[in-house]
A and B are shown apart, each in its own frame.
Chain A
Amino acid sequence: MDFFVIQALTGLASASSLFLLASGLSIIFGVTRIVNFAHGSFFMLGAYMAYTLTTMWSGPLGFWGGVVAAAAVVAVIGAVVEIVVLRRIYDAPELFPLLATFGLALMTEDAVKMIWGPQDLLGPRAPGLEGAVTILGHPFPAYDLVLIVLGPAVLGLLWLFLRRSPWGVLVRAATEDRTMVAALGVNQKRLFTGVFMLGVFLAALGGALRIPREAVHHAMDMEVIVEAFVIVVIGGLGSVPGAFLASVLVAELNAFGILLFPKISMVLLFLVMAVVLVLRPHGLLGRPEAAARASLGVQEEPWRPMGRAGWALGVALVALLAALPLVADAYTLTVTTEILIFALFAASLHLMMGVGGMVSFGHAAYFGLGAYGTALLVRFFGAPMEWGLLTGPALALVGAVVFGWFCVRLSGVYLAMLTLAFAQIVWSVVFQWTEVTGGDNGILGVWPGRWASDPAVYYMLTLTLCAAAVGAIRHLVFSPFGQSVRACRDSPGRAESIGLDRRGLQWLCFVLAGGFAGLAGTLYAGLKGSVFPDVLGIPLSVDGLVMVLLGGLGTLTGPLVGAGVFKALAIEVSSATDVWKLILGTVIVVLVLAFPEGIVGVWRRWVRPRGAGS
C-alpha cells in the first residue's frame, strides 16, 4: 500500500512538468489553431538553457533564477520564430503551419547537438532540495514534493490570468472567434505573438524544471511531444484545466502501467486515449469545436479530371520511368523504387486527407501493417514475398476497417489524434510482442522470389503496381463515390441532408486509403528485405504528411511531386552530411514560406491564374 502511495506521488511530480508542456500547447492551439510540432523542441531548449544557466550560477537564487531565465530566453526565441515564420502562414491552409513547425523541430534537434554536444548532460540539483523526506517510511525526493505543489500553483495562476486579466479575456475571445476579435480592433498579430510566447514559456519552464530529475539529451523533444499531444487531446483542446487533469492521468498511467501491465505498458497510454475519444469525442473537458467558419472569399478550386495533355504527360512520365532500367545502375533503380513506393504512400494519404478530409497523423499504421502482413507470411509460412502482395494489403485493410470505424465518428484534430493513437497501439504491439514480430529486431529475409530479385525487375514490378494504384486512386476521386466523399468533406451537413451516408462514405474512403498504403508497405518490405517497427512509427507518418503538404493538399498531382522532392532530398542530404536534419528542416521551412499552397498549388497559380488576379 505504502509503495502505491509513493508511486502515485512520483506520478504527480511528473504530471507537473507534463502539465506545463501541455497547457502551453493547448493555449497556442486554442488561439492560433496551430498544431505546434516544435513544442517539444522548446521544452528541450528550456532544459538545455537551464542546464547552462544553473551550472553557471550558484545558490538557490542561481538555480531558480536560472530556471525562470531559461524559460524567458526560450520564450523570446519562440517570439522570434512566430514573427519570422509562423506569422506569414496563418492564412495558409490549415496544416501548413504544422509542416513549418515540424521543420523547426528538425532544425532544433541538430542545432542543439551542435551547441551542447551529443552527450547526455546532468544538471545540478536544486539547492536545499537534494535530499529526501520520509513519507510512510519511504524516502521521497524533496524536489518532487516541490514539483507536486508547483503544478496546481501554475494551473491556478493561469486560471486567474485567463479569467481576470484583460489580456486573458482577449485570449479566451480569440480562442472562440479570432476574426471577430480582429474586427473589434484588436491587433491579432500582437495577440498571437503574445500567446505563442506564453505557450513557449510554459513549455520551456516544464523542460527547465526537469533537469534535477533526469539527464538532458537531444531526443527529449520527440519523447515528450507525442505525450503532450495525447494529454491535450484527452483533456480537450484549448482547455487548461483539461490539460491538468489529463497530465495527472497520463503521468499516473506511466507510473503504474509499467508495474501492473509490463507487457502492454506502451499500449496503455494510447488505449486510454482511444477510449476517452470514443466516449468523449472532444476530450474530458473540451467543447465541441465550433464548426470551422469558412472565411469569406476563400474557396477551394474544384478539381477537374485531367485533360488530354495531362494524360499524355502522365503516360509519358510512366514510359520514361519504364525506360530507366536501360540506362540506370542498380543504386539509382533502388532509390527510384523507394521514391515510387513513397509516391503511392503519399497518394494514399492524400486520398484520406485531401479527398476524404480526414487528416491522419498515423498513416504509417497501414504502411506498416502491409509490410508486416508480408513479413509474417514469409516468416511463418516460408512463402516468397510476392504472396505478401495479397496478405500485406489485406492486413492493412483489416486494420483500416477496424480503426476507421472509430475514426470517422470524430473530426478535425481529434480524428487526427485518434489515428495517431491507433498507429501507436499497432507500433507498441509489434514492438512488445517479440515472439511473433521479433520486436525491435524485426523480421529479416523478406525477399521476393528469384524471378524478381534483380533490382530492375523489382523496379518494374513496383512501377507497374504503383502506377496502376495511383491511376485507380485518380479514377476513384472522379467517380460518383469520390464526388460524394468530397461533398461530405466540403459540407458535411448539406451532404447528409441530401441523403449521403457521410460516415459510411468516409469509412470506405479510409479503408481504401489504408489498403493502398498497405500495398506501398508490402513493396517496401520486399525492397528492403526486412521489416522493423520503424515502418509503423510516428516519423514515417510525419514524412507522409510532409510529402502531401509539400506537394499541396488541393491537387491530385501534389502528393506525387511532394513525395519525389522530399524523398530525393532526404536520401541525398542524409548521405551527404551529418546535419541533415538541420538542412532538411531549413528546406522545409523555406519551402513552406515560399510555397504556402504547396509546390503544385503555386505552379497552378502561375499557369492558370484565378479570377481575382486576372
Chain B
Amino acid sequence: MSELLAVRGLNAWYGRAQVLFDIDLRVDAGEVVTLLGRNGAGKTTTLAAVMGLIPGVRGDVHFGGASISGLPPHRIARLGIGYVPEDRRVFSDLTVDENLAVGRQPPRPGAPSWTPQALFDLFPNLAELRRRRAGQMSGGEQQMLTIARTLMGHPSLVLLDEPSEGLAPRLVEQLARALGTMKAEGLTILVSEQNPRFARSLTDRAYVIEKGRTRFEGTLADLDARPDIRDACLAV
C-alpha cells in the first residue's frame, strides 16, 4: 500500500512548554489508523498540527508525497485532508444544509466523492433535520454533522479527533458503522481515541502516545500483548 500521510519528527510548543516530542506517524492509503492515548497525551495537538492549525511547529509532514509543512489550513484542506475537531464545532447559527454547504469543495479525482444524499444515507438522523439550526441539535447529531460537513469536501484522508467522546453507546455503535462505510468507500482515516475498543474491528494499526512521545506502534493484537503499555498509557 502506498504511503498517504507521513509525519516525521513533529515537535510542538505551547508558549515555552514543549508538548510534542519527535512524533512519527505513517498512514497508508485505505488504512484506518488509531491514535491512542490518555487525556492530555498530545492527540489533539498532533492532529491539529497536521492540519496546520498550530503555530511554531517543527517537523516534517508529507501528504501524498508532497510536503505540507507550513501551509495554511485551507490549502491543506484543499489538498484532500478533512479535519473533524473534538469539540463538535458546528456553526450553530446555520442550518444543517448550510453547515454542509460551508464544507463543500469541488470533487477530487481519486478520492471518494459524497453528495448530501449519500451523507443523509450515512447519517439518517440528519436527513430529517435539514432545516434545523445546528445549535438546536443534540450532541450526537452535531457530531454526525461535523463528520458529514467534512466529507462534503471529498477528502482522501480524514482526521477524526475523539469522535466517540461523550456519545451514548447506541450512537457510538452507529458512528462505528458509519466509519465502516467510509472505509469501504476507500477513505483513509486517522482517528484519535482514548479507548482501544472503539472501532476495534476497523483499525488496521495503532499508535500510542504518552506525554507527547510515541510509545507504541503496531496492530491492536500486538498492543494486547503489551500489558505494560496498555496499563501505563491508556485509561482502560
Contact = CB atoms under 8 A, between A and B. Distances in A.
Interface of A: 91, 166, 169-170, 172-173, 175-177, 179-188, 287, 295-301, 610-613
A297 B56 CA distance: 8
6 pairs of A and B residues whose beta carbons are closest in the complex: A299-B15, A185-B77, A612-B56, A297-B54, A611-B16, A182-B73
Given A169-B101, A183-B74, 14 more contacts: A173-B99, A179-B73, A183-B51, A184-B77, A184-B102, A185-B77, A185-B153, A186-B102, A296-B53, A296-B54, A297-B48, A297-B57, A298-B15, A610-B15
A169 B100 CA distance: 10
A300 B14 CA distance: 9
Interface residues of B, number: 38
B94 interface: yes
Interface string B5-45: 00000001111111000000000000000000000000011
Contact of A184 (B13, B54, B149): B149
Given A172-B91, A296-B53, A184 B14 contact: no
A297 B73 contact: no
Contacts of A185: 74, 77-78, 103, 105, 153
B55 interface: yes
Given A173-B94, A187-B74, A180 B85 contact: yes
A181 to B, nearest CB: 6
Contacts of A177: 89, 91
Given A169-B98, A188-B74, A179 B93 contact: no
A184 B82 CA distance: 7
A495 B58 CA distance: 33
A172 B150 CA distance: 18
A612 B53 contact: no
Contacts of B51: 183
A183 B13 contact: no
Nearest to A175: B93
B92 interface: yes
Interface in B39-88: 44-45, 48, 51, 53-58, 72-74, 77-78, 83, 85
Contacts of A176: 91-94
A228 B91 CA distance: 28
A362 to B, nearest CB: 31
Given A297-B54, A612-B13, A183 B83 contact: yes
A187 B89 CA distance: 18
B16 A301 contact: yes
Contacts of B102: 169-170, 173, 181, 184, 186
Contacts of B153: 184-185
A70 B92 CA distance: 37
Given A169-B101, A183-B83, A186-B74, A611 B13 contact: yes
A169 B15 contact: no
Nearest to A614: B16
Contacts of A183: 51, 53, 73-74, 77, 83, 85
A490 to B, nearest CB: 12
B110 to A, nearest CB: 17
B48 A184 contact: no
B93 A172 contact: yes
11 contacts: A91-B55, A172-B94, A176-B94, A183-B51, A184-B150, A287-B93, A295-B53, A296-B14, A297-B57, A298-B55, A612-B13
Contacts of B91: 172-173, 176-177, 180
Contact of A611 (B15, B85, B105): B15
Nearest to B155: A185
Nearest to B154: A185
B147 to A, nearest CB: 12
Contacts of A287: 93
B105 A297 contact: no
A612 B94 contact: no
Nearest to A180: B89
Q: Which of A179, A188, A612 has the most CB of B within 10 A?
A: A612
B235 to A, nearest CB: 22
Contacts of B99: 173
B13 A297 contact: yes
A186 B77 CA distance: 8
Given A170-B102, A296-B54, A610 B77 contact: no
Interface string B153-186: 1000000000000000000000000000000000
A166 B16 CA distance: 41
A187 B15 CA distance: 27
A298 B94 CA distance: 28
Contacts of A612: 13, 56, 58
A186 B58 CA distance: 25
B14 A297 contact: yes
B144 to A, nearest CB: 16
B55 to A, nearest CB: 5
A32 to B, nearest CB: 16
A184 B147 CA distance: 11
Q: Which of A166, A181, A184, A297 has the most CB of B within 10 A?
A: A184
Contacts of B13: 297, 610-612
B210 to A, nearest CB: 19
A488 to B, nearest CB: 20
B43 to A, nearest CB: 12
Contacts of B14: 296-299
A611 B58 contact: no
Nearest to B57: A297
B138 to A, nearest CB: 19
Contacts of A91: 55
Contacts of A301: 15-16
A398 B153 CA distance: 58
Contacts of B74: 182-188
Contacts of B85: 180, 183
Given A166-B101, A182-B73, A611 B18 contact: yes
B55 A297 contact: yes
Nearest to B45: A296
A52 B16 CA distance: 55
A536 to B, nearest CB: 39
A165 to B, nearest CB: 10
Contacts of A300: 15
A187 B54 CA distance: 17
Contacts of B77: 182-185
A169 B94 contact: yes
A296 B99 CA distance: 23
B197 to A, nearest CB: 28
A296 B15 CA distance: 10
A89 B199 CA distance: 43
Nearest to A287: B93
A300 B17 CA distance: 11
A612 B83 CA distance: 25
Q: Which of A181, A187, A297, A301 has the most CB of B within 10 A?
A: A297
